[in-house]
């Protein structure tokens, strides 16, 4: 819940290209960012913690104003007086998370002259025997990407533990208040000849039409985002990260490769030698490439992405395919495609949102899987214990336009924990669970020290 900002002064600016794409995508079900925490004790400090976040980060006080065709971000000078009354609930944490992430206050027209706030929060009392509470902070993606949500999560842990936000956690410059991603990229990095832009646009479109997907269970139905957790123990995580290092790839490439292999193996009625072509989207935090460079505590949306297609058959080998993913992604980064192609990808996403029939079965699936270039690492057991936080998840919706599986991975005290988001009932929980079970098996077998490093992949 939130209350108005009284007579506070406002400043406004038009949204930039990527922010505009988020504004178009969120009402349809993609891009709602969620920070979810399961608390071992009551949430008495939750209201003060969320208020402190808004005080430390002006962009979290923003409102979205105007029509969908030309939205603006308006920033009040004072933080709204947010109220959080704990609500009793019979649902468990996972079920509440799936309900909250699909609560979309931006789907309808923004109420009133002030528009709609970019941040909403809710607090629930969890039922026995576990008890405790659950805090959910819902933020519009136009002002909060993955890196920002992870930085905010760390700040929430500090605040719930009784300390104030200080030091590097205080946003030195309200970057997103001043300008969005596109206006902060160096002109030389964003420059792209017109003919190259046209060739790439055609290439993206044709690759999308040729790409395979996971089988769709129910099309033409209302959708929501659901989650399956994929977890590795400490020893398995150590072996996997060591295997990635030995094979010269990042974890995101291994995860993408394993997901493609699992998807290919799930097609039971196709011949073993038949190739399938899959799209992989890799999302990149662009803060270090901007002028001036930003850090993750500069809350806003400063992500871009690169997409690549890969041909896979049932006998494909993990590390050979992972190296292909790594090389394709590295080449794209070296050629600055994550900066030069932002406008192209935003344009194509908006056209697909407007014309779902441009995608397979009008499903709005743009990739088999999306992964993040950087692996999030949380080594905060003492902080988590002091805050009384038993579990936490940072994730986002994907059931509008997006991948069949969105992987939000993190290392937590040495253990790999992935929140895997998918659109339901386009895909069923049973279907996604089976694919992820295969992913885990492929990564486990590939991390075995006896695994052949001279494998091949066709």
Q: Enumerate the CATH 3.30.559.10 domain ranges in the chain, comma separated.
A: 10-177
* Region of residue 387 (phi > 0: left; psi between -120 and 50: alpha; otherwise: beta): alpha
- The upper half-sphere exposure of residue 304, i.e. CA atoms within 13 Å in the direction of its Cβ, equals 26
Length of the chain: 458
Q: What is the DSSP string of 411-426?
A: EETTEEEEEEEEEETT
For helices 342-354 and 17-25, angle between their N-to-C axes, nearest 10 degrees: 20
At a CB cut-off of 8 Å and minimum separation 6, what does 3 contact? 80, 81, 82, 83
Q: Please identify, in words, the CATH class of the domain defined by 10-177.
A: alpha beta
pTM: 0.91
Per-residue model confidence (pLDDT) at position 382: 84
Per-residue model confidence (pLDDT) at position 140: 96
Q: Could you list the mean pLDDT of each consecutive 10-residue stretch along the chain, which spans 458 residues?
A: 49 92 94 95 86 91 87 83 86 95 83 81 90 94 95 93 57 72 86 60 61 90 96 97 96 97 82 82 95 91 93 87 96 90 90 91 94 91 88 96 96 95 97 97 89 44
CATH number 3.90.1010.10 given to 184-446:
no
> What's the CA gap between 24 and 15, in Å, rounded?
11
At a CB cut-off of 8 Å and minimum separation 6, what does 379 contact? 411, 413, 414
Residue 411 pairs with which residues in a beta bridge? 377, 416
Per-residue model confidence (pLDDT) at position 316: 78
Per-residue model confidence (pLDDT) at position 188: 82
Per-residue model confidence (pLDDT) at position 1: 39
> What's the CA gap between 156 and 162, in Å, rounded?
10
Return phi, psi of residue 32, to 5°: -75, 115
> What's the CA gap between 261 and 443, in Å, rounded?
10
Per-residue model confidence (pLDDT) at position 208: 62
Dihedral in degrees, nearest 10, Cα atoms 383, 388, 393, 396: -100
Question: 3-state DSSP helix/strand/coil percent for the chain, to nearest 5?
Answer: 40, 25, 35
Strand locations in 315-401 (E)? 365-372, 376-378, 389-398
Q: Enumerate the CATH 3.30.559.30 domain ranges in the chain, comma separated.
A: 184-446
Q: Which residue has the tokens 């905010």?
A: 152
Biggest CA–CA distance in the chain, Å, is 68
The closest of 189, 139, 134, 157 to 334, measured between CA atoms, is: 189
Give, for 305, the enclosing helix (H) or strand (E).
strand 303-312
């Amino acid at each position: 819940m939130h209350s108005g900002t009284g007579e506070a002064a406002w400043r406004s600016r038009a949204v930039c290209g990527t922010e505009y794409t988020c504004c178009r995508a969120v009402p349809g079900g993609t891009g709602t960012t969620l920070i979810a925490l399961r608390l071992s004790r009551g949430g008495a400090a939750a209201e003060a913690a969320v208020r402190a976040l808004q005080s430390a980060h002006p962009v979290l006080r923003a409102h979205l104003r105007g029509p969908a065709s030309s939205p603006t971000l308006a920033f009040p000078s004072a933080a709204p007086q947010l109220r959080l009354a704990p609500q009793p609930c019979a649902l468990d944490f996972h079920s509440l998370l799936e309900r909250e992430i699909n609560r979309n206050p931006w789907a309808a027209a923004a109420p009133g002259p002030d528009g709609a706030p970019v941040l909403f929060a809710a607090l629930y009392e969890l039922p026995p025997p576990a008890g405790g509470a659950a805090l959910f902070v819902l933020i519009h993606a136009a002002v909060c990407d993955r890196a920002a949500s992870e930085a905010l999560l760390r700040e929430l842990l500090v605040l719930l533990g009784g300390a104030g936000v200080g030091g590097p956690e205080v946003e030195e410059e309200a970057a997103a208040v001043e300008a969005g991603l596109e206006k902060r990229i160096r002109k030389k990095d964003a420059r792209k000849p017109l003919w190259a832009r046209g060739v790439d646009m055609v290439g993206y479109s044709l690759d999308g039409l040729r790409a395979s997907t996971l089988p769709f269970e129910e099309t033409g139905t209302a959708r929501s985002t659901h989650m399956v957790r994929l977890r590795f123990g400490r020893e398995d995580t150590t072996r996997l990260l060591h295997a990635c290092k030995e094979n010269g790839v990042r974890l995101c490439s291994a995860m993408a490769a394993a997901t493609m292999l699992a998807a290919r193996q799930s097609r039971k009625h196709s011949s073993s030698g038949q190739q399938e072509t899959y799209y992989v989207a890799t999302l990149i935090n662009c803060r270090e490439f901007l002028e001036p460079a930003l850090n993750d505590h500069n809350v806003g949306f400063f992500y871009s992405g690169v997409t690549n297609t890969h041909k896979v058959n049932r006998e494909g080998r993990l590390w050979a395919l992972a190296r292909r993913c790594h090389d394709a992604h590295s080449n794209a980064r070296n050629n600055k495609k994550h900066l030069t192609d932002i406008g192209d990808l935003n344009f194509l996403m908006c056209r697909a949102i407007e014309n779902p029939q441009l995608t397979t079965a009008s499903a709005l699936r743009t990739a088999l899987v999306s992964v993040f270039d950087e692996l999030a690492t949380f080594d905060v057991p003492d902080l988590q214990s002091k805050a009384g936080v038993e579990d936490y998840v940072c994730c986002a919706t994907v059931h509008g336009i997006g991948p069949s599986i969105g992987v939000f991975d993190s290392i937590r005290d040495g253990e790999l924990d992935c929140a895997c988001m998918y659109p339901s009932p386009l895909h069923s929980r049973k279907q996604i669970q089976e694919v992820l079970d295969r992913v885990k098996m492929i990564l486990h077998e590939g991390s075995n020290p006896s695994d052949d490093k001279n494998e091949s992949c066709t």
